[in-house]
Amino acid sequence: MKSVERIDTRALTPQTFASRYCSGEGQPVVLTGAFKGLPTCSPEWLVDLLPDAPFPARLYGKDHFRQAKSTWTTYADTLQLTPSTYAQMLADRSAHDQNVYMAQVPVRDTALADIIRPYVDVMGGHTGLKAAIDLNLWWGPGGHTEPLHFDSGDGTLVQLHGKKRAVLFPPSQSKNLYPFPIRRKGIAPWFSQVYIENPDFKRFPNLATALPERMEVTLAPGEVLFIPANWWHENSSLSDDYSCSINRFWKVSQLSRLFTNRITPAIYGLSMIALAIAGKKYRPPAANETS
């Protein structure tokens, strides 16, 4: 298994970041030192800083990840929950039991974003990254795994509470990670059909070729994982109570890096056709859209 380099954010310049981590397929890296001084991210803190309005949450249910992904009819069901209700569900562990995850919740217009954004912007200054989609919250039960997928933009995931393990594969391994077919209803092709921790080599024999390319890192609070566009990643919360992270997607500056993944051109092509039929202006698929 390959490890992910750690580097102090303050030692970076846009030039060094671009040449080391954003050329070719790109290279994941853990950025340290950029989030010193943030208050502890407790549920009370989050509830205080977020409006007590409904936010989308993913309901996976108890057995979702015990079933072959080919039997899934949807990636997850969606619920609307207020932060205070969700904090209660984490406290009484019903969020753990039913695997409910406040995943990719846009928080750009909240007091939470006002606290986090200056730190993320400083990181943007050191790396030369330019914001695409502003801050999203990932607040979920300990033990949750967000399954293997890729995003079409560069991403940075800031860990705020609990330890989180990320497993990554380069875009060149796409074929060996069995993306859902493009024509499959309900699940987007940027999700993989395989379980990397419980591989079914009979159904997915090429997975054996991908596994030696696996990279892995465990993030501690305050650390940031840079996930280059089109890199496959699967993140698991290692803490028992809850995990809290915030991400931002960034523009991919080199056009060629948008196409490091074999299936991305097909996704872009289909989006263009669908939107042309709908008579709308073309918009590339947003990073991490789930369906």
Ligand X SMILES: O=C(O)CCC(=O)C(=O)O
Which range binds ligand X by CB under 6 A, 42-50, 150-158, 173-181, 267-275?
A: 150-158
CB count within 10 Å of CB 197 equals 10
All residues at 6 or more sequence positions from 233 whose CB lies less than 8 Å from its CB, including other chains: 148, 149, 150, 166, 167, 168, 169, 227
Pairing of strands 100-106, 145-149: unpaired
Residue 151 lies near ligand X (rule: CB under 6 A): yes
Near ligand X in 19-38, by CB under 6 A: none
What's the CA gap between 4 and 28, in Å, rounded? 7
- Residue 159 interacting with ligand X (CB under 6 A): no
Q: Which one of 10-18, 21-29, 111-119, 227-235 is the stretch in contact with ligand X (CB under 6 A)?
A: 227-235
154 binds ligand X (CB under 6 A): no
Q: Which is nearer to ligand X, 25 or 275 (CB)?
A: 25
227 is a contact residue toward ligand X (CB under 6 A): yes
Of the pair 205, 231, the CB lying nearest ligand X is at 231
Q: Which is nearer to ligand X, 203 or 251 (CB)?
A: 251
* Closest CA relative to residue 165, chosen from 219, 90, 122: 219
Question: Is the C-alpha dihedral spanning 193, 170, 238, 90 positive or negative?
Answer: negative
**Which is nearer to ligand X, 59 or 275 (by Cβ)?**
59
Least distance to ligand X from the beta carbon of 235, Å?
A: 4
- Of the two residues 159 and 176, which places its CB atom closer to ligand X in the complex? 159
Task: Provide the pairing of β-strand 6-8 with 55-59.
Answer: unpaired
The CB-of-166 to ligand X minimum distance in angstroms stands at 7
C-alpha distances in angstroms, 197 versus 4, 143, 233, 268? 19, 14, 13, 30
- Residue identified by tokens 């465990």 is 218
Q: Are strands 2-3 and 215-219 parallel, antiparallel or unpaired?
A: parallel
- Which among 39, 26, 29, 32 is positioned nearest to 123, based on CA atoms? 32
Nearer to ligand X, 124 or 155 (CB): 155
- Residue 237 · residue 174 · CB < 8 Å: no
Residue 230 CA to residue 223 CA, distance in Å, equals 21
Helix (H) or strand (E) holding 274: helix 264-278
Size of the site for ligand X (CB under 6 A): 11
Applying CB under 6 A, does 288 fall inside the site for ligand X?
A: yes
Nearer to ligand X, 83 or 155 (CB): 155
| Rounded-to-10 torsion of CA 109, 112, 114, 115 | -170
**What string marks each residue from 231 to 270 as x (binds ligand X by CB under 6 A) or -?**
--x-x---------x-x-----------------------
Q: Which stretch binds ligand X (CB under 6 A): 90-98, 117-125, 149-157, 173-181?
A: 149-157
Q: Binders of ligand X among 124-143, rule CB under 6 A? A: 138
Whether residue 272 contacts residue 282, with contact meaning beta carbons closer than 8 Å, is answered with yes
Q: In the complex with ligand X, which residue's Cβ is closer, 275 or 285? A: 285
Of the candidate residues 113, 116, 133, 157, the single one contacting ligand X (CB under 6 A): 157
What residues make contact with ligand X under the rule CB under 6 A?
Answer: 138, 146, 151, 155, 157, 227, 233, 235, 245, 247, 288
